[in-house]
Amino acid sequence: MKKILLYVSLLLVLTSCEDKLDITPKGQTVLNTLEDLTNLLNQEYNLGTPIEDLCVICNEAYSFTENVNLILSQPNTLACAYLSYNEETDRAGLTTEDSRYAAIYQYINYMNVIIDKIDDVEGEAYLKEQVEAEAHIMRAYLHWLAVNIYAKQYDEATAAEEGGIAYVTDLEVTNQKMKLTLQKVYENILTDCDEKYIDVLPDEAPNVTRAGKAWGYAVRAKVLMQMKKYDEALPYALKSIEYQNNIEDRSVIVELSDWYLEKTAPNNLIYIGGMVSPFCEVLSIESATLFEQGDYVKDYAYMFGMVAPGFEVWNSTYGESMGGVKGALFFYGMSSYTNIFGITTERMYYTAAECYIRTNQIDEGLELVNTVREYRIHPDYYEEFKASTEEEAMTLLQKAKWIECISTYENFFDCKRWNSEEKYKRTITRQLPTGTYSIDPDSPLWIFPFPANAVRYNSSLTQNY
C-alpha cells in the first residue's frame, strides 16, 4: 500500500506539472512570463525512493516495507534480483517502465523550457540571469543522477568508450535522443554547472526548493568527486560550506524522544524528497552494526515519542517480524524527511572531508567528519576520530558517512566510485535466512536498465551492462 501511495503521488506531481507546462509536439509552451518560468523551479522534485533498489544493491537495506522471504519466493522480479544479487535475471525485460527515469527527464524538460524561453520574456535582467543559471545547474544535477544510475562509474581511462545516457537540451520531446559516451555526458554536466552560472545565483536561497550559491558549488563538487578528481572538487565543496554551514542538531532528540526533521530544515541545500524517510526501510544486518553507541536517532528516538522498550524508531522486533531477518532493523518513525535525492550541508562536509583525505590532508578531513559527528553522537559516548594514514581515515569516514546517508542515493553512488579504485573496491556479502549472497565490484547489477518504453523510441539507448 505504501508503494502504491508513493507512485500515485509521483504521478500526480508529474501530471500537475505537465498541465502547467502544456508542451505541444513541436516543443511550444504556454509559459510566457518570467513568473511562469520561475514556477517551474518552485516545486518539490519527486524521484521516488532509493530504498527499494539503490539501497538494496549496496546492501544498505533489504527492502522498502517488504518481507525478505516473500521477495525471494518470487524469483522473476526485479526485487528478487536485487536482493539475491542474481545477475541472470532479465532486468531489462522486466523494466517496461521506470517512474524515476521518466521523472528525471520530465524535470530536465522543464529546465530546457526555462533556458529556451528566458530571452523571450520580460523581467529584470538579474532575475532572468538567476533563473536561467538555476535551470542549467539543475539540468546538470538531474543528468548526473541519471548517469550514475543507468551507466557505469566514470573512469577517465575508459570514459570515451563507455556508454552513458542521452543528454537532453532541446524541447522536441518526440525526437529521438542520442546516447552519448560517459565522457561527453560529464563534459556537458560540467558545462551546465560552470562557475559562470554559480556566480549569478543569490548568496542565500529563498527556500529549500530553490538554488543559492551553496547549492551551485555543491553540485560541481559532487560531480568532480564522482569523477575522482578530488583535488578539483575540494575548493567547490569548501565554497558550498562557506555559504551554508547549517548542521542539523540531533541532540534535541534526547529531550523530544523522537526525530523531527522537516522538509524545510535549513541543512537542506535543495530538498528532493517527496515522502517521509527512512520510513519502512528494512536496514541490513551489516548496516545495523555501523551505528555508533550513543547515536541520537538509534538510541534515543521512539515512535511518536513513546519511550518504552519495543517503540524504538530503529526497531529490531519489526526488523525480524516484518523484514524477516533477525538482527535487521525496521524504521518506524513518521516525523523525518531525509533529503533522499538532494544535498545537505552535512553531506557536503563529508564530500570535503573525503577530498581532504584523498589529497593527504587527513587531519583537516577528519575534523570535518568530527564536526558532524558531534551533532550525531551523545557526548557520553562521543570520541574524536583520529588517523595517521589515508586508509585509516577512509575507514572511519566510510563508516560514519554510511549512517549519515541512510535512505539516500549517496551510499550507492559511493560504492560505485570506490569499486573502481583498487584500494577501496570490495565484494559485498550478506547473510539471509535462505543463504549467502554476494555482489562483485564489477557486477552488472550496479547499472540499472533503461526502461523498455524509452528504448522503444530511442534506438541508441542500448543497455550499459
Looking at residue 16, its pLDDT comes to 40
Does residue 278 have a cis peptide bond before it, meaning omega lies within 30 degrees of 0?
Answer: yes
Domains contained in the chain, CATH given: 2-251+340-457 (1.25.40.390)
- Any idea of the CA torsion for 159, 417, 168, 449, to the nearest 10 degrees? 100
> What are the cell numbers at 111?
529546465
Looking at residue 31, its pLDDT comes to 84
> What are the cell numbers at 407?
535512505
Q: How many CB atoms lie within 10 A of CB 15?
A: 9
Looking at residue 173, its pLDDT comes to 79
DSSP state of 196: H
Q: How many CB atoms lie within 10 A of CB 431?
A: 13
Residues of the chain with pLDDT under 70: 1-29
Q: How many CB atoms lie within 10 A of CB 89?
A: 18
Looking at residue 21, its pLDDT comes to 36
pTM, full prediction: 0.93
Distance CA 123, CA 367 (A): 45
Distance CA 103, CA 113 (A): 15
> What are the cell numbers at 61?
537495506
Looking at residue 28, its pLDDT comes to 52
Looking at residue 29, its pLDDT comes to 57
Looking at residue 398, its pLDDT comes to 98
Looking at residue 2, its pLDDT comes to 42
